[in-house]
Structure 1
Amino acid sequence: MTRLFNDPAAFADEALEGFAAAHRRWVRPVTGGVVRAGGTPEGQVAVVIGGGSGHYPAFSGLVGRGLAHGAAVGNVFASPSAQQIRSVARAAHGGAGVLLMYGNYAGDVLHFGQAAERLTGEGVRARTFAVTDDISSAGPEETAKRRGIAGDLPVFKAAAAAAEQGLPLDEVLAVAEHANARTRSFGIAFSGCTLPGADHPLFTVPEARMAVGLGIHGEPGIGEESLPTADEAARLLVTSLLKEVPDGVGGPAGARAAVILNGLGSVKYEELFVVYRKVAELLGDAGVEIVDPEVGELVTSFDMAGISLTLTWLDDGLSALWRAPADTPAFRKGAPAAPEHAAAAAVTAEESDEQTVPEASDASRRAAAVVLAALDALAATVDDHAEELGRIDAVAGDGDHGIGMQRGSTAARLAAADAHARGAGAGTVLVRAADAWSDRAGGTSGALWGSMLRALGGALGDDEKPTAARVADGVTEASAAVRRLGGAEVGDKTMVDVLVPFADTLAAATADGVPLAAAWDRAADAAETAASATADLLPRKGRARPHAEKSLGTPDAGAHSLALITRAVRGVLIDHH
């Protein structure tokens, strides 16, 4: 378990601060992550990678010449926010555009996509690419749904080496696509990982058993088998990957492959070498030529006891990119390069308009006090139920929903209080809360709650006292925004299963002339009923999808938290009626 920490909520920030202090030769800190100490050469495409904390040396440890130009680092097992990614990308930009790369997880897809849109709107050419190497997370016919695990490294490196060669953005992206299409990974685990401050692991494996097909966020494996010997583990890994040789390779005999045997946190190097001796033998027997293998901890999951094997099937172009020199804190290849000198000046802090608020009517400012009270009640409810939400989420996910909701709701409440103190109206208070929630929480829930609060804030505005109908319209728009952003619909076992009936019930009641507090009460009842009903659904979206059967009988964590929050806000509306 993770034993050395201060405040668990500050763990990711403090870890990044210490990492940057220890590796000044390679990196310098910027808001949201780190960039190369010497900056990006002018005219070179910047490859910016990122993801949640808890996976070191991914992602910050891979910043340096020959690999990433910057890394955006989120909270523990949560994607960085769009603002963090944008900040790192702007600091890394060398004038030739930015390629944003990440593992294929819902939160990362949302936040990196939003960051790319904002960068493009600001005149910075930006493209995104998600790595999809894990064969256990979806079948060959659904490779786009696969998650990214240790295959992140060879795909990141191929793209970064192409950027070092001076290729333009579209060609660097094409290299990433080609490397990803030829990369496959498979993993096993013997115990789960424990988050900082938690007193139990996210999942457990029975004695003398192993989980097969695990995820790097503590997601349970897709099956269990008897605990193997080292040679049996090697055989399982190799056999599983050789069953799916990518199109264009022709077959394992005579092919070349970059090979990565990755330790997930608690399996030590000597154990990895014992396994690798058999991996090398089996691949040799299959006729595979191994090129520059890597054995060690490259993408971890805190203290998870597990290993994964990655094969990137090489052609001449990919072979040259894989073998190209790299010099980063955690990954080096080829002849050592002369030290990079730190950039002459730190990135200038972006000017912010957070100290000013738009003008608002007296009625809207009075309504803002009610909004702030609702956000206070929301945050208090999340605090009360954080452990429960994490437990529910861990059944088929990664167990971080409670922590993420705490981070987001606390940040939203503080931002709202600051805006209210400076005379903001109801709309601005909600929008500031939305941005703070999304930025601090990261992850899928951060993006979705940010979009909900922003939609509601836009509907209320700062000019008038919000009417019941306007509140209902805002909730309806919030429902639509979440479905647009996340792609989920009713029946997918997500928060949408609660948000849609809540919004529909609220709209119908207010249309019938029911006062807001009573209408909200009616809608909160519908939300609670819908949240309970998600226990009978199989997930069709998100990290829980590969473990659908495990979640039967347990409600969706996001749906449950939303229902709890609607009930808490109902109390505030009654008090201010």
Structure 2
Amino acid sequence: MSYVLNDPAAFADESTDGFVAAHRSLVRRVPGGVARTTAVPEGHVAVVIGGGSGHYPAFGGLVGAGLADAAVLGNVFASPSAQQIYTVAKAVATEAGVLLSYGNYAGDVLNFDQAEQRLIAEGIPTRTVRVTDDIYSASSDERQKRRGIAGDLAVFRAAAWAAEQGLDLDAVAAVAARANERTRSMGVAFSGCTLPGATEPLFTVPEGQMAVGMGIHGEPGIGVQPLPTAKQLGELFVEALLAELPDGVTSVDGARLAVILNGLGSVKAEELFVIYATVSTELERAGATIVDPEVGEYATSFEMAGVSLTLLWLDDELESAWTAPAYAPAYRKGAVATGDTELLTDDDAAAETETIAAAATPEAAEAGRTARDVIVAIRDMIDREADELGRLDSIAGDGDHGIGMKRGTVAAARAAEAAADAGAGAGTVLALAGDAWADKAGGTSGALWGLALRAAGDVIGDTEAPSAHTVAEAVEAARAGIQNFGKAVVGDKTLVDSLVPFSDGLTARANEGAALAVAWAGAADDATRAAAATADLLPRMGRARPHMEKSLGTPDPGAISLALAMHAAASVLNHTTAQKEES
């Protein structure tokens, strides 16, 4: 557990502030994360990495010469928002473009893809390389679905080296992608981790047992087996990783390997060295040559007691990248040349602000206040249900759904209140609430709720009070946006399983002539029934997918939270209707 904290909700921001204060000569604060204090040289590709907080030294500790130019830092165990990614990338972008690289998790994919599209639309060439090194998270036939763990370091090193050679964006992306294709990792855990402010770990490991194939966000292992000796663990690591050779590698004998033995938080250096003694012996016995091994903490999970082993199968170019000098707050190798470079400060990347325009009519402004009340009601509901949503999420996921929803709804309500106070219509209230939700919540749910609210706001607009038909069209636009971007369909065990019945039910009732409050309440009931039925489904997307059997019998937390939110909104609409009838 975390013993040192103030407000758990502010933990990530306060940690970043302290990190920057401790390394002012190397990193500066930019909106959404950190960047080098030196400017990216003209004509060089900027390498931007990122992910959720709680994994130090990933990701901020890997910003520096020979490594990343900037890191986007999301909330604890939650992907950064698209806005954060965009602002960090803009802070370091050059005319040569930006390479984005991160671990392959659903929320990160959604948010980084949105940011990439926005950067490209503004004329900034952008490419992405996702890290997929965890062999236990998907089969070799579905390597593109694997998640990224400590292999991030190998891929980031390759990308940064290529950029510092002055290669163009396509070439930098190609080197990073080749590093990813030749990187394999697996991890084990002896205990779970606990989020700041929480009293219970996200998962537990039975006494005398070891979880195999766990993630770095508190996801439980794929399997459990008796706790081995250090020698047996080292042999297990090597045997599993040598069983899957990358494409183009025909034999272990004669191969050159970069090796990363990573501690996840509570396993100390001396213990890692005991394991590494076996790892090095076994690899050399198989005929491999180890090049510049790294033994330490590179991708952690708070106080999780766990270890992972990563192998990068080197070629000449990747070996040059792996052995090149680097100087970052948490990773240093060799001697980095220094020269006359421009030093930047925190003030060199200011956040953008948005002016709120008043609604076109008094009726539209009244609709804006109703939209505000809906967002506030959803916030209050999530505040009451956050612990239960987190419990549901911890069964097969990482347990942060309630926390993420709470962060998102608090920010959304604050933005909605400011917009409504300025006289904005419902369209602007919903759009700004969605942007704030996505920015502060991060993760998959943050991205999807933000997208949905903005899509709905675009349909409703600010010129008049929306009818039931217009609101149904807005919800349908939100549904289409979520499915088009997130790719989930009914049956995947996601919030889509309750959103689609809600949208269909609302549209059907509006077409039958029902008033908005009546149509919405009925559709909310449809969503609730559909959300409960997800208990019988196996997840086909997201972090719960590798643990699908564990989630059987438990409803999807995203579907449940959406249904609860729709009922909270129904209460507001019923109350508003009653007030109008009384007047």
Deviations 1:271-293 (A, max 9, x none): 00000000000001101100000
Task: Using the TM superposition, give the Cα deviation of residue 94 of structure 1 relative to its aligned residue in structure 2, in angstroms.
Answer: 2.9
Amino acid at match of 1:570: A
Pair 1:22-2:22 in alignment: yes
Q: Deviations for 1:401-460, whole angstroms, at most 9, x for unmatched residues?
A: 000000000000000111111111110010000100011111000000001111111111
**Aligned counterparts of 2:15 and 2:339: Cα–Cα separation in 1:** 24
| 1:70 correspondence with 2:70 | yes
Contact 2:30 2:350 in 1 (8 A): no
Contact 1:327–1:337 (CA under 8 A) maintained in structure 2: no
Partner of 1:548: 548
Per the alignment, residue 160 of structure 2 pairs with 160
Structure 1 345/294 Cα, relative in aligned 2: closer, same or farther at 3 Å?
Answer: closer
1:384-409 deviations in Å (ceiling 9; x for gaps)? 00000000000000000000000000
In structure 2, the gaps of 5 or more residues are 578-583
Deviation for aligned residue 1:134: 0.4
For residues 235-270 of structure 1, the C-alpha deviation after alignment (integer angstroms, 9 at most, x for no partner) is 111110010011111111110010000000000000
Partner amino acid, structure 2, of 1:327: Y
Match runs of 1:361-440 below 5 Å: 361-440=361-440
Task: Decide whether the 8 Å contact of 2:31 with 2:350 is kept in 1.
Answer: no
Kindly provide the CA deviation profile for residues 15-56 of structure 1, in whole angstroms up to 9, marking residues without a partner as x.
000000101121111111111111211111000000000000
C-alpha distance in 1 between matches for 2:46 and 2:536: 46
Q: CA contact under 8 A between 1:108 and 1:444: conserved in structure 2?
A: yes
Q: 2:189 is matched by which residue type in structure 1?
A: A
Look up the equivalent residue of 2:569 and give its one-letter code.
V
Secondary structure class of the residue paired with 1:188: strand
Comparing 72-81 and 349-358, the one that deviates more: 349-358
Q: Residue 102 of structure 2 aligns with which residue?
A: 102
Q: Which amino acid aligns with 1:506?
A: L
**Aligned residue identity for 1:313:** W
* Bigger Cα displacement from structure 2, 94-103 vs 491-500: 94-103
User: Are the aligned partners of 1:104 and 1:147 in contact in 2 as well (CA < 8 Å)?
Assistant: yes
Matched to 1:205, the amino acid is: V
1:111-141 CA-to-partner distances (Å, cap 9, x unmatched) read 1111111111112111111110000000000
1:40 aligns with 40
Number of residue equivalences: 577
Q: 1:342 to 1:479 in 2, by over 3 A?
A: same
Q: Which residue of 2 aligns with 1:182?
A: 182
* Structure 2 CA distance for partners of 1:194 and 1:501, relative to 1, 3 Å: same
Alignment of 1:65-144 (within 5 A): 65-144=65-144
* Alpha-carbon distance in structure 1 between the residues aligned to 2:241 and 2:535: 35
Partner of 2:239: 239
Q: Encode CA deviations 1:290-343: one digit per residue, 9 max, x unaligned.
A: 000000000001111000000000011111111011110111111244488662
Q: In the alignment, does 2:481 pair up with 1:447?
A: no
Letter in 2 for 1:199: T
**Partner Cα separation in structure 2 for residue 208 and residue 517 of structure 1:** 56
Q: Which residue of structure 2 aligns with residue 507 of structure 1?
A: 507
2:65–2:336 contact (8 Å) kept in structure 1: no
CA distance in 2, matches of 1:353, 1:261: 44
Mapped partners of 2:573, 2:507: distance in 1: 16
Alpha-carbon separation, structure 1, partners of 2:351 and 2:389: 37
Q: Kindly provide the CA deviation profile for residues 357-403 of structure 1, in whole angstroms up to 9, marking residues without a partner as x.
A: 25422111011111111111100000000000000000000000000
What is the aligned partner in structure 1 of residue 581 from structure 2? none
Q: Is contact 1:79–1:108 with CA below 8 Å preserved after alignment? A: yes
The alignment's TM-score, normalised by the length of structure 1, stands at 0.98
On the 8 A contact 1:394/1:400 being kept in 2, the answer is yes
Counterpart Cα distance in 1 of 2:299 and 2:509: 51
Distance (whole Å) between structure 1 residues aligned to residue 173 and residue 158 of structure 2: 10
Aligned positions of 1:334-345 closer than 5 A: 334-338=334-338, 343-344=343-344
Q: Distance in 2 between matches of 1:518 and 1:28?
A: 53
Identity of aligned residues (%): 61
* Structure-2 separation of matches of 1:275 and 1:192: 20
8 Å contact 1:192–1:304 — kept in the other structure?
Answer: yes
Structure 1 residues 483-494: aligned runs within 5 Å: 483-494=483-494
2:292 is paired with a residue of what secondary structure? strand
* C-alpha displacement of 1:524: 0.9
CA contact (8 A) 1:37 1:340 kept: no
Letter in 2 for 1:530: A
Which residue number corresponds to residue 191 of structure 2? 191
TM superposition shift of 1:344: 4.7
Distance 1:348 1:115 in 2: 20
Q: Aligned residue for 1:290?
A: 290
Deviation of the 1:95 alpha carbon: 2.5
1:349 Cα offset (Å) = 4.7
CA drift of 1:353 comes to: 4.8
Q: Quick check: 346-355 or 305-314, which moved more?
A: 346-355
Aligned partners of 1:497 and 1:121: how far apart in 2?
Answer: 32
**Other-structure match for 1:314:** 314
* Equivalent position of 2:253 in the other structure: 253
Which amino acid is the alignment partner of residue 436 of structure 1?
A: A
Aligned to 1:206: 206
Comparing 331-340 with 383-392, greater Cα deviation is found at: 331-340
Match of 2:537 in 1: 537
Whether the aligned pair in 2 keeps the contact of 1:358 and 1:428 (CA below 8 Å) is no
Preserved contact between residue 36 and residue 63 of structure 1 (Cα < 8 Å): yes
Residues 151-191 of structure 1: CA deviation (Å, up to 9, x unaligned): 00001100100100000000000001111110000010000
Structure 2 counterpart SS, 1:312: strand
CA distance in 1, matches of 2:475, 2:83: 24
Q: Over aligned residues, Cα RMSD in angstroms? A: 1.2
| Alpha carbons 2:87, 2:351 under 8 Å: kept | no
Q: Is residue 25–residue 339 contact of structure 1 (8 Å, CA) maintained in 2?
A: no
Describe the shift of the 1:524–1:410 C-alpha distance in structure 2 as closer, same or farther (beyond 3 A). same
Alignment partner, residue 277 of structure 2: 277
Tell me which amino acid in the other structure corresponds to 2:123: G
Alpha carbons of 1:19 and 1:350: their partners in 2 closer, same or farther (altered >3 Å)?
closer
Q: Does the C-alpha gap of structure 1 residues 344 and 173 become closer, same or farther in structure 2, counting only changes over 3 Å?
A: closer
Distance 1:125 1:572 in 2: 45
Unaligned runs of 5+ in 1: none
SS in 1 for 2:451: helix
Which deviates more, 500-509 or 87-96?
87-96
